C-alpha cells in the first residue's frame, strides 16, 4: 500500500501556498468536462459540491436523507474554531496549530493541521458572507467563546445551533448550483459500493431508498463525505442513520483505513436512562464555559445537590487541572468523570453521572445572560430529564460522539485509491488521537470550501488527458452490481429470528465495554473472539422483513449493521496493536502514576493504516511515520 503523504517540502508556514502554486490547474473551459460524484452533503460534502460546481465542474451529489439539510452536521451545537484573534487574547494561526497538534496528542500530521489553522479564518468570512448569523458583541464584532483544550476564545457560534446555521448557509450555496444545473442532487440514495476501473475510482453503486432500485453512476472522481462511525457503539450522540458503510465498502475496494481505534467519548452527554434507548443527547462543550463539574466527596452521599455544602464537593477538573479546569480537553474530562464514578462518587440512577452546575455562573452574571448563552440547550435538557438546569445542576456522563479515525488520505485528501477523495469526518486527517471541541466543523468546511477545490483540480489535470472514458456499462460496474445485489439477497434470505437492531445493540454494548473509554489487552482479545461469533449469528439468524424493491428501513439498517460487525473487529485489532495510550485511545496498561495517558513515541509515532486483504483474511497493518519538527513532542499537560 502506497502511503505517500505528499507533504510539501520546506517550512510548514509556506507549505500550502507553495503547494497551491505547484499544483496543476484545469482550464476553466475544460472544467465542465469533469464529473465529480459527491457522496454525502453534510457540511463537508455540501460545501465541496457547491464550491466545485461554482468552479465549473459537473457534480452529482448523493445523500440518504430526503434533503441535504438533514445531514447529521445540523446537530452541531457549540461552535466552530478560527484563528481570527478578535479577542486580542493571544490567538494566532500558530497557536491554533499548536493547540490542535497537542490536543491530538501528537498523532496528527503537522502540515495538514497547519493548513487547517491557516484557512480557518477564511471559513468565517465565507460563512458570514453567506449570511450565517453568528453571535455578535454589542459593537457588532463577531463574538467568541472558549472551548476545551485552549486558553484563548476562538470559537464562533450561533447560540447552540451552530451546525444548523452553517448547514443552512452551505445549503443556500448548494441550492444556487442545483438551480444553475451544475449540481444534480440525488436524495434518498445510499451508496453501497465504489467502482474502481484500471486502478482509478470511476463510479459508485447506489440503492434508491424509496423504490429499491439499484443504480450505477460513472464519473471522473468520487468524493466520500459520509461522516463518522461513532454508531458502532450503538448508543452515541450521532444521528441514528450515521454509519460506516460507504467508508468500509471503499476500504474493501482498496482504500486504506487509518486509526480506527481513535474514537472520541464526549464528557457532557445526558446519561443513559434505560435498556430500550436508541440515542444519546449531547450537552454542548460550550456549557463548560460557565458550568462547573463536580461530584460529592463522599461515596455514600444521598442529599440533593443543593444541600451538599461547598467543602463536601469535589470540583475534580479544577482540582486536577488548575490551568484548564472545566475546559480540559474531552478525553481528559471524560476519563476523569469515569474515574469519579468508578470510585463510587457518581450521582443519579446507577451512580453513572456527574454534576454540571450553573449556580455560580447564574449568581455572577444573572439568569438572563445564561439563558441568552445556552437557552436552547437548557430547554432541551429539561424536555428530556424534566429538571431545570436553572434550578438544579445538570447530570451528565461521557458518551461516544466523534471518530478521529477514517479513510487514510494524503495532503491532497486523496485516499490510497487514486480518484477517491475523502473529506470531513470520514477521513482520518487532522485531529490525531483526540479532536478539540469546535474543530470538526472547521475541518469539514476547510476540506470542502478551501482544500478539495484545489487538489481535485490537480488530480484531473494530472490524470485527465490520458484517462480512458468509462461509462456505467463498463464490465467492472456490472461486477460490482452483482456483489451489491448478492448482498441484499443474502440479507433478505436469512429469515432468522432476531432484528438487526438487536445485533447492533449487542455489538454496541460489547464495543463500549471492551473498546470504549478505557481498553485493555484482555478485554480487546475477548471482543476479538466475540465479534466474529456475533457476526456469524447475524448471518444465520437475522430477520429482515419486506423486500428489496421498495422502501425498507429494516434492510437499510441490516446492511449498516453488517458493516459495523466487520468494521468493529478492525477497530479492536487497531486498539490492541497500539500498545500505548494517546488521546481518546486509553490503554489501561499504559498510564502514568496519576492515571494520565502514557504515549510510546519510540514505537507509535505513526498513523496505523489497515489494508483489506480479502474476505476472511486478517487486514494488513501499514504505518505512516509522523514528524514533529515544529511542535516539540512532549507529554501533554493541562495542569
Ligand X SMILES: Cc1cc2nc3c(=O)[nH]c(=O)nc-3n(C[C@H](O)[C@H](O)[C@H](O)COP(=O)(O)OP(=O)(O)OC[C@H]3O[C@@H](n4cnc5c(N)ncnc54)[C@H](O)[C@@H]3O)c2cc1C
Binding site for ligand X (CB under 6 A): 39-45, 62-65, 71-73, 75-80, 162-163, 190-191, 225-227, 237-238, 242-243, 245-246, 282, 401-402, 424-426, 438-441, 444
Of the two residues 230 and 607, which places its CB atom closer to ligand X in the complex?
A: 230
**Cell (9 digits) for 106:** 501528537
Tell me how far, at minimum, the Cβ of 431 lies from ligand X, in Å: 10
Other CB atoms within a 10 A radius of the CB of residue 312 amount to 12
Q: Is the dihedral of CA 4, 8, 11, 14 positive or negative?
A: negative
Q: Are 586 and 338 in contact (CB under 8 A)?
A: no
Of the two residues 30 and 65, which places its CB atom closer to ligand X in the complex?
A: 65
Other CB atoms within a 10 A radius of the CB of residue 592 amount to 10
Tell me how far, at minimum, the Cβ of 40 lies from ligand X, in Å: 3
Of the two residues 52 and 573, which places its CB atom closer to ligand X in the complex?
A: 52
Q: Are 516 and 400 in contact (CB under 8 A)?
A: yes
Phi-psi region of 246 (alpha: psi -120 to 50; beta: other; left: phi over 0): alpha
Of the two residues 373 and 587, which places its CB atom closer to ligand X in the complex?
A: 373
Q: For residue 618, what is the DSSP state?
A: P
Of the two residues 72 and 519, which places its CB atom closer to ligand X in the complex?
A: 72
Tell me how far, at minimum, the Cβ of 117 lies from ligand X, in Å: 14
Tell me how far, at minimum, the Cβ of 271 lies from ligand X, in Å: 15
User: Can you name the residues that pair with 622 across neighbouring β-strands?
Assistant: 609
CA dist., res. 486 & res. 205, Å (int) = 13
Q: Are 570 and 262 in contact (CB under 8 A)?
A: no
Q: Are 534 and 565 in contact (CB under 8 A)?
A: yes
Tell me how far, at minimum, the Cβ of 228 lies from ligand X, in Å: 6
User: Can you name the residues that pair with 166 across neighbouring β-strands?
Assistant: none
Of the two residues 106 and 157, which places its CB atom closer to ligand X in the complex?
A: 157
CA dist., res. 22 & res. 18, Å (int) = 6
Tell me how far, at minimum, the Cβ of 372 lies from ligand X, in Å: 18
Locus of grid cell 478505557: 518
CA dist., res. 319 & res. 317, Å (int) = 5
Of the two residues 75 and 214, which places its CB atom closer to ligand X in the complex?
A: 75
Tell me how far, at minimum, the Cβ of 309 lies from ligand X, in Å: 35
Tell me how far, at minimum, the Cβ of 262 lies from ligand X, in Å: 13
SS3 percent helix, strand, coil of the chain, rounded to 5, is: 40, 15, 40
Of the two residues 61 and 573, which places its CB atom closer to ligand X in the complex?
A: 61
Of the two residues 430 and 569, which places its CB atom closer to ligand X in the complex?
A: 430
**Cell (9 digits) for 408:** 487514510
Tell me how far, at minimum, the Cβ of 375 lies from ligand X, in Å: 16
Q: For residue 447, what is the DSSP state?
A: I
Amino acid at each position: 500500500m502506497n502511503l505517500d503523504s505528499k507533504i510539501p517540502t520546506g517550512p510548514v508556514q509556506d507549505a500550502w501556498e507553495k503547494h497551491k502554486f505547484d499544483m496543476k490547474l484545469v482550464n476553466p473551459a475544460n472544467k465542465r468536462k469533469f464529473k465529480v460524484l459527491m457522496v454525502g452533503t453534510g457540511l463537508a460534502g455540501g460545501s465541496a459540491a457547491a464550491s466545485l460546481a461554482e468552479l465549473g465542474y459537473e457534480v452529482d451529489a448523493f445523500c440518504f436523507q430526503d434533503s441535504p439539510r438533514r445531514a447529521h452536521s445540523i446537530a452541531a451545537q457549540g461552535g466552530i474554531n478560527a484563528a481570527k484573534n478578535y479577542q486580542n487574547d493571544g490567538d494566532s494561526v500558530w497557536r491554533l496549530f499548536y493547540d490542535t497538534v497537542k490536543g491530538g496528542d501528537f498523532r496528527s500530521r503537522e502540515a495538514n493541521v497547519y493548513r487547517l489553522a491557516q484557512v480557518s479564518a477564511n471559513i468565517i468570512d465565507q460563512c458570514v458572507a453567506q449570511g450565517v448569523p453568528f453571535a455578535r458583541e454589542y459593537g457588532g464584532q463577531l463574538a467568541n467563546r472558549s472551548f476545551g483544550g485552549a486558553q484563548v476564545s476562538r470559537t464562533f457560534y450561533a447560540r447552540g445551533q451552530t451546525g444548523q446555521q452553517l448547514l443552512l448557509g452551505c445549503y443556500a450555496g448548494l441550492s444556487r448550483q442545483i438551480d444553475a444545473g451544475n449540481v444534480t442532487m440525488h436524495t434518498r440514495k445510499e451508496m453501497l459500493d465504489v467502482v474502481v476501473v484500471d486502478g482509478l475510482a470511476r463510479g459508485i453503486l447506489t440503492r434508491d431508498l424509496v423504490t429499491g432500485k439499484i443504480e450505477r453512476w460513472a464519473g471522473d472522481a468520487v468524493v466520500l463525505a459520509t461522516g463518522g462511525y461513532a454508531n458502532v457503539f450503538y448508543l452515541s450522540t450521532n444521528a441514528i442513520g450515521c454509519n460506516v458503510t460507504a467508508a468500509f465498502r471503499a476500504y474493501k475496494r482498496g482504500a486504506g483505513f487509518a486509526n480506527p481505534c481513535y474514537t472520541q467519548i464526549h464528557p457532557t452527554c445526558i446519561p443513559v436512562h434505560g435498556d430500550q434507548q436508541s440515542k444519546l443527547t449531547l450537552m454542548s462543550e460550550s456549557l463548560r464555559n460557565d458550568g462547573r463539574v463536580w461530584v460529592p466527596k463522599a461515596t455514600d452521599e444521598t442529599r440533593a445537590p443543593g444541600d451538599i455544602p461547598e467543602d463536601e464537593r469535589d470540583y475534580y477538573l479544577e482540582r486536577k487541572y488548575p490551568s484548564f479546569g472545566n475546559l480540559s480537553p474531552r478525553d481528559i474530562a471524560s476519563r476523569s468523570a469515569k474515574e469519579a464514578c468508578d470510585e463510587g462518587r457518581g450521582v443519579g440512577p446507577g451512580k453513572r453521572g456527574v454534576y454540571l452546575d450553573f449556580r455560580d455562573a447564574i449568581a455572577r452574571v444573572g439568569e438572563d445572560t445564561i439563558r441568552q448563552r445556552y437557552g436552547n440547550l437548557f430547554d432541551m435538557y429539561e424536555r428530556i430529564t424534566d429538571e431545570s438546569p436553572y434550578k438544579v445542576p445538570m447530570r451528565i456522563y461521557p458518551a461516544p460522539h466523534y471518530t478521529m479515525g477514517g479513510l487514510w488520505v494524503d495532503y491532497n485528501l486523496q485516499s490510497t485509491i487514486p480518484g477517491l477523495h475523502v473529506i470531513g469526518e470520514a477521513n482520518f486527517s487532522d485531529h490525531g488521537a483526540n479532536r478539540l471541541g469546535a474543530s470538526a466543523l472547521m475541518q469539514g468546511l476547510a476540506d470542502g470550501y478551501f482544500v478539495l477545490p484545489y487538489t481535485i483540480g490537480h488530480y484531473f489535470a494530472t490524470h485527465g488527458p490520458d484517462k480512458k472514458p468509462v461509462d456505467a456499462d463498463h464490465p467492472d460496474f456490472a461486477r460490482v452490481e452483482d456483489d451489491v445485489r448478492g448482498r441484499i439477497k443474502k440479507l433478505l434470505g436469512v429469515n432468522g429470528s432476531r432484528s438487526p437492531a438487536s445485533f447492533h445493540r449487542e455489538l454496541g454494548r460489547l464495543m463500549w465495554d471492551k473498546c470504549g473509554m478505557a481498553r485493555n489487552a484482555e478485554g480487546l482479545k475477548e471482543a476479538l473472539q466475540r465479534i466474529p461469533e456475533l457476526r456469524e449469528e447475524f448471518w444465520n439468524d437475522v430477520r429482515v422483513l419486506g423486500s428489496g424493491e421498495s422502501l425498507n428501513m429494516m434492510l437499510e439498517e441490516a446492511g449498516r449493521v453488517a458493516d459495523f460487525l466487520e468494521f468493529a473487529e478492525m477497530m479492536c485489532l487497531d486498539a490492541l496493536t497500539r500498545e500505548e495510550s494517546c488521546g481518546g485511545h486509553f490503554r489501561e496498561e499504559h498510564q502514568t502514576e496519576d492515571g494520565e495517558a502514557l504515549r510510546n513515541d519510540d514505537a507509535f509515532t505513526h498513523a496505523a493504516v489497515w489494508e483489506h486483504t480479502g474476505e476472511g483474511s486478517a487486514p494488513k497493518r501499514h504505518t505512516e511515520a509522523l514528524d514533529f519538527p515544529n511542535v516539540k513532542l512532549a507529554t501533554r499537560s493541562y495542569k
